[in-house]
Amino acid sequence: MTITRGRDVMMEIREGDDVLLFLDQRRTYQVRVEEGRQFHTHKGYIEMGKLIGRTYGSPVKSSLGAKFYALRPLVRDRILKTDRRTQVLYPKDIGYLLFQMGIGAGSRVAEAGTGSGALTCALADAVRPDGRVYSYEINFRFQETAASNIERAGLMEYVELKQGDITEGLYEEGLDAVVLDMATPWLVVGHAHDALSGSGVFTSFSPTIEQVMKTVSALREHPFVDIETVELIMRRINVAENRTRPETLMIGHSGYLTSARKVLE
Amino acid sequence: MTITRGRDVMMEIREGDDVLLFLDQRRTYQVRVEEGRQFHTHKGYIEMGKLIGRTYGSPVKSSLGAKFYALRPLVRDRILKTDRRTQVLYPKDIGYLLFQMGIGAGSRVAEAGTGSGALTCALADAVRPDGRVYSYEINFRFQETAASNIERAGLMEYVELKQGDITEGLYEEGLDAVVLDMATPWLVVGHAHDALSGSGVFTSFSPTIEQVMKTVSALREHPFVDIETVELIMRRINVAENRTRPETLMIGHSGYLTSARKVLE
Amino acid sequence: MTITRGRDVMMEIREGDDVLLFLDQRRTYQVRVEEGRQFHTHKGYIEMGKLIGRTYGSPVKSSLGAKFYALRPLVRDRILKTDRRTQVLYPKDIGYLLFQMGIGAGSRVAEAGTGSGALTCALADAVRPDGRVYSYEINFRFQETAASNIERAGLMEYVELKQGDITEGLYEEGLDAVVLDMATPWLVVGHAHDALSGSGVFTSFSPTIEQVMKTVSALREHPFVDIETVELIMRRINVAENRTRPETLMIGHSGYLTSARKVLE
Amino acid sequence: MTITRGRDVMMEIREGDDVLLFLDQRRTYQVRVEEGRQFHTHKGYIEMGKLIGRTYGSPVKSSLGAKFYALRPLVRDRILKTDRRTQVLYPKDIGYLLFQMGIGAGSRVAEAGTGSGALTCALADAVRPDGRVYSYEINFRFQETAASNIERAGLMEYVELKQGDITEGLYEEGLDAVVLDMATPWLVVGHAHDALSGSGVFTSFSPTIEQVMKTVSALREHPFVDIETVELIMRRINVAENRTRPETLMIGHSGYLTSARKVLE
């Protein structure tokens, strides 16, 4: 079977692929497909080898008869499945940041900190096939986890992991965007200006309003325009006949998103 | 000057480029750079030819001495500048939809309706350089506007504009994603299932809750999993010493975002 | 000690009073003050009799040395402490409903269902000292709980508990307001119109949008004006130096609040 | 005609009453009923004398045949109709503040600043018939406007307007509650503690987060417990068949509501 259109080369499940086993919205598992491997759940185990050669989206029965679907993992799945040693951004925030930065195929972006590599994966996927992500992390242990997550997502060729303190400066120049998810973004504003190309985009994610105040204040002391801070609130809606309503419990706050564009004086 | 890094080929402003003239957050103008062209604002006119050869991000003075910056337009700028004959999606919604669909370089996506081409541009930029956007529109006049907007953004080579009624079916198969921004998305759910590859993503943007109810109901009648509806609320925060607060007036609602993934039975 | 100003007659704690023992925001206990009674907590027990004659707001040490404060319970405390057999309204909703209804001393209000008596207490407190609350409940067991709660709050003299099905009609006429917190409010709209005085206010609390649609539709079939539906979202803000931010987890939805005013034709 | 039930004494419109002429949700007018008076609107004029002796809620035709309804003004109507020289609180905020303060018939409350008297009216209506509102205002002109608004609402007998700077202290003691809607609430926290009875409630409304930070910090330096800050977001829902959705444009922020309770040490 030769499929040459778009991403269709991935339509058939092959040995070594990660699949997302979907039971229901709250129970999904990212598992490697390997001949002879059994994946155990409380609903029985699944023979992973049975999936080889089948089409993505196919159902597979567990030993106890529960029906799972073998989905192709998207970047958003990898983010939520990523090792949770560090707080991760939510899809609502990542989607907005990516779009706000205006990055795409070929973009060169710096990021700090790498954390578990969740945002790194999203950035790497966005700059494929000829862009590059420079990801700074001061904590050696986070970097190991991140490397393993990025590797597993097949995105390492687009990433340079850098161990170092970004508050002391960046090695790159002429970047399209810099994105910060770290405790003291305001200490990086000047360095980000140096590293960005003219008109390049600075973005930052911060949980507290004090971080935002300091970051915006630092941005105003450098040649940046279009400085703005927003917050995204996401509500899930339960849709069911005569029971349609927003979910009772929700994430009320993840963080503020600040962005700006570099200008020259 | 040979620049070979990433998008840096665009670092220097050239004749024929669109620049975003930035005065302040509320006053930005997307203008074509042409020798001899004068762009008039209430702050005086700008000799557009003066920008040729300068770096993106550079300041330029108007005839009355007002300082504008010549920014490189991002997709998000093009969206907000797009002809407003039809209601457009907001960046918060587009960023989320793109990320939710999991599309990127090489993806094949269908969209309906084309409208003014705002979402089309975002999709085309995301699937560069080897993906494709199939954009359906029933209204001939919208299509003309959209073509001009997509052309101006330099993204037409990734797009196929299709005049026709998507509620009668799609021509494509094995798509990575289908995204609907139209009055009756529920009439397309079955056709979208046919056109999607296994594990492909369906998304829909609808302003009213009745549209959501009908769409979710249709999704449940076909082999789709991971059906979810969310709403994104974006608050702008005014950050200024002793005056930090969310903006008084905000967009309270644009629409609901429904997504699902195709499975096989 | 003779205190004659306002509510100051309650400034001194007396035998038989309910006090709110406050340890911290998450640990508060409403307890009856009685000579010889010991109230046990995981922080040791408190001799309730020690509080007699002391001033509201005073600290009291537990047997293990933990400091509690003896606060005067407000209606809002009683609501949150009310037996939770039924879902209760939140203070944000009750405050809005009370203000929207325009009720106050002397008002005559009907309510359904009584539930645990939480809203009943708020209404009774609002119409003191010469108003009246007519509270309908079809479920006998709820009524027993409610009676005990209202009694304990000392508000029974302003309340008439009525066991019966309000969808069959109200006994009252010339009411200032009718407030519904029940599954099928639309079945009461016509009866509420009959029971209200001209210009009287109808309000309803409903968790689902389908309930709202049916209720608004019923309101439009009767002489009502100023029909409006709102939803209140409350965010708690954690305020602490360099850690100020909205709370991570929040109640995303309790219900929709619909109101209208009766007119004559 | 002798009506003795509740507020029913107000069921019949009398000379000198204020009525709320209701055309639609956006066009309501609070007008004094006087023999011979004509009230002019763009839909023709209304002979106000015709309303004398009619029932509240009755329709009245303008000279051009437009149908208005004569509603009984509620406190919430007066607030929105109040002279807008100063920013006023919204019903969502007032309802919450009133409920949070736990005030009712007989309560003694201090307020600052008086502003246009909007919140003063709400407080006065809540403490009727035997409570009292002490309202501080430093600006003489605001006080004149407020006096006229409170007088017109028939609530002056429950109010003491005080011209003076509350940051220098309050004259009262043993108050049930203190509510601040002013630029520098943190300067009043200590004085509020002095003026409150044990267990009395402090509340403050502030548009900016810096005000909140300073106020909470001041509260923590005095014996207060149960300190909390919330923000209420109100969404209006447009309910109409196949067009049900939250309103597009909304008030995104009015202010933060901080509350606390006085304890003794």
User: Cβ contact (<8 Å) for A100 and B94?
Assistant: no
Please answer whether residues A257 and A205 qualify as being in contact, where contact means their C-beta atoms are separated by less than 8 angstroms: yes
Contact residues, chain D, for C11 at CB < 8 Å: 174, 197-198
Please answer whether residues D38 and D44 qualify as being in contact, where contact means their C-beta atoms are separated by less than 8 angstroms: no
Q: Which residues pair with C135 in a beta bridge?
A: C111, C161
Residue B4 forms contact with A (CB below 8 Å): no
Q: What are C108-128's pLDDT values in tens digits? A: 999 999 999 999 999 999 999
Return the minimum-mean-pLDDT range out of A163-177, C8-22, C116-130, D168-182.
C8-22
Name the neighbours of D, counting chains with at least 3 Cβ pairs within 8 A. B, C
Which one, of B121, B175, B174, lies nearest residue B150 by Cα? B121
pLDDT of D195: 97
Outline which parts of chain D fall under CATH 3.40.50.150. Answer: 77-262
Please answer whether residues C142 and C114 qualify as being in contact, where contact means their C-beta atoms are separated by less than 8 angstroms: yes
* Dist. CA C231–CA D236, nearest whole Å: 6
Which one, of D259, D136, D132, lies nearest residue D202 by Cα? D259
Q: What are C225-247's pLDDT values in tens digits? A: 999 999 999 999 999 999 999 99
Put simply, the chain B residues between 46 and 85 with a CB less than 8 A from any chain A CB are 55-59, 69-72, 74-76
Q: Which residues pair with D31 in a beta bridge?
A: D19
pLDDT of C89: 84
Which one, of A213, A255, A202, A249, lies nearest residue A233 by Cα? A255
> Is D233 a residue whose pLDDT tops 70?
yes
The DSSP result for B161-222, as a single string, is EEES-GGG--S--SEEEEEE-SS-GGGGHHHHHHHEEEEEEEEEEESSHHHHHHHHHHHHTS
> Is D79 a residue whose pLDDT tops 80?
no
* Dist. CA B9–CA B25, nearest whole Å: 27
How many CB atoms within 10 Å of residue D9?
Answer: 13
* Dist. CA B90–CA D149, nearest whole Å: 43
Which residue among C207, C242, C247 sits closest to A252, beta carbon to beta carbon? C247
pLDDT of D71: 96
* Dist. CA A208–CA B93, nearest whole Å: 24
Please answer whether residues A58 and A67 qualify as being in contact, where contact means their C-beta atoms are separated by less than 8 angstroms: no
DSSP-based three-state secondary structure for D155: coil
Q: What are A34-52's pLDDT values in tens digits? A: 999 999 999 999 999 999 9
Outline which parts of chain C fall under CATH 3.10.330.20. Answer: 6-73
**Average pLDDT score, chain D:** 92
Written as one letter, the residue type at C250 is M
Angle at A260 (CA atoms; ends B45, B82), nearest 5 degrees: 55
Q: What are B163-217's pLDDT values in tens digits? A: 999 999 999 999 999 999 999 999 999 999 999 999 999 999 999 999 999 999 9
pLDDT of D6: 45
pLDDT of B217: 98
Contact residues, chain D, for C265 at CB < 8 Å: 59
CATH class of A6-73: alpha beta
pLDDT of D80: 67
pLDDT of A262: 98
User: Cβ contact (<8 Å) for A249 and C248?
Assistant: no
Model confidence band, residue B78 (pLDDT cutoffs 50, 70, 90): confident
* Dist. CA C45–CA C48, nearest whole Å: 9
Angle at A259 (CA atoms; ends A258, A261), nearest 5 degrees: 155
Q: What are C175-228's pLDDT values in tens digits? A: 999 999 999 999 999 999 999 999 999 999 999 999 999 999 999 999 999 999
Contact residues, chain A, for C245 at CB < 8 Å: 207-209, 253, 255
Residue B240 forms contact with D (CB below 8 Å): no
Which one, of D144, D143, D141, D122, lies nearest residue D133 by Cα? D122
Which residue among B241, B242, B248 sits closest to D251, beta carbon to beta carbon? B248
> Is A86 a residue whose pLDDT tops 60?
no
User: Cβ contact (<8 Å) for A242 and C210?
Assistant: yes
Please answer whether residues A118 and A142 qualify as being in contact, where contact means their C-beta atoms are separated by less than 8 angstroms: no
Burial of A10 (0-12, 13-18, 19+ CB in 10 A): middle
Name the neighbours of A, counting chains with at least 3 Cβ pairs within 8 A. B, C
Element (H, E) at B125: helix B118-127
* Dist. CA D254–CA D75, nearest whole Å: 19
Return phi, psi of residue C142, to 5°: -60, -40
Residue B244 forms contact with A (CB below 8 Å): yes
Residue carrying structure tokens 């539930």: C115
Please answer whether residues D262 and D199 qualify as being in contact, where contact means their C-beta atoms are separated by less than 8 angstroms: yes
Residue B245 forms contact with D (CB below 8 Å): yes
Evaluate the CA torsion angle A255, A249, D256, C205 in order and state its sign.
positive
Contact residues, chain B, for D246 at CB < 8 Å: 252-253
Contact residues, chain C, for D25 at CB < 8 Å: 226, 228
Q: What are A169-224's pLDDT values in tens digits? A: 999 999 999 999 999 999 999 999 999 999 999 999 999 999 999 999 999 999 99
* CATH of region D77-262: 3.40.50.150
Which one, of D193, D194, D190, D204, lies nearest residue D119 by Cα? D204
**Average pLDDT score, chain B:** 92
User: Cβ contact (<8 Å) for C11 and D197?
Assistant: yes
D34-42 average pLDDT score: 96
Q: What are C135-167's pLDDT values in tens digits? A: 999 998 989 999 999 999 999 999 999 999 999
> Among residues of chain C, what percentage have pLDDT more than 90?
88
Model confidence band, residue B87 (pLDDT cutoffs 50, 70, 90): low
User: Cβ contact (<8 Å) for B235 and A236?
Assistant: no
A236-261 average pLDDT score: 96
Distance from CA of C201 to the nearest CA of A (A): 25
Please answer whether residues B103 and B178 qualify as being in contact, where contact means their C-beta atoms are separated by less than 8 angstroms: no
Please answer whether residues C134 and C161 qualify as being in contact, where contact means their C-beta atoms are separated by less than 8 angstroms: no
Which residue among C207, C245, C255 sits closest to A208, beta carbon to beta carbon? C245
Tokens representing A67 are: 């029906």
Assess: ipTM above 0.90: yes
Residue C189 forms contact with D (CB below 8 Å): no
* Dist. CA B60–CA B19, nearest whole Å: 12
Residue A210 forms contact with C (CB below 8 Å): yes
pLDDT of B22: 97
Mutating which of A20, A225, A228 best tests the B interface, going by the most B Cβ atoms within 10 A? A225
Q: What are B49-66's pLDDT values in tens digits? A: 999 999 999 999 999 999
Question: Given phi > 0 = left and psi -120 to 50 = alpha, else beta, which region is A156?
Answer: alpha
> Is D157 a residue whose pLDDT tops 70?
yes
Buried b (16+ CB within 10 A) or exposed e, D118-148: bbbbbbbbbbbeebbbbbbbbeeebbebbbe
pLDDT of D10: 54
> Is D26 a residue whose pLDDT tops 80?
yes
Tokens representing D193 are: 């503690």
Please answer whether residues A169 and A233 qualify as being in contact, where contact means their C-beta atoms are separated by less than 8 angstroms: no
Return phi, psi of residue C84, to 5°: -95, 35
Contact residues, chain B, for A257 at CB < 8 Å: none
Model confidence band, residue C79 (pLDDT cutoffs 50, 70, 90): confident
B113-130 average pLDDT score: 95
How many CB atoms within 10 Å of residue A234?
Answer: 19
Put simply, the chain B residues between 125 and 184 with a CB less than 8 A from any chain D CB are none
Which one, of D182, D178, D145, lies nearest residue D161 by Cα? D145
Please answer whether residues C157 and C133 qualify as being in contact, where contact means their C-beta atoms are separated by less than 8 angstroms: no
> Is D106 a residue whose pLDDT tops 90?
yes
Return phi, psi of residue B129, to 5°: -95, -5
Question: B245: which residues sit within 8 A by CB, 6+ positions away?
Answer: B237, B238, D207, D208, D209, D253, D255
Question: B111: which residues sit within 8 A by CB, 6+ positions away?
Answer: B119, B120, B123, B133, B134, B135, B136, B178, B179, B180, B181
User: Cβ contact (<8 Å) for C57 and D96?
Assistant: no
Q: What is the DSSP letter of A264?
A: -
Which residue among A105, A235, A262 sits closest to B230, beta carbon to beta carbon? A235
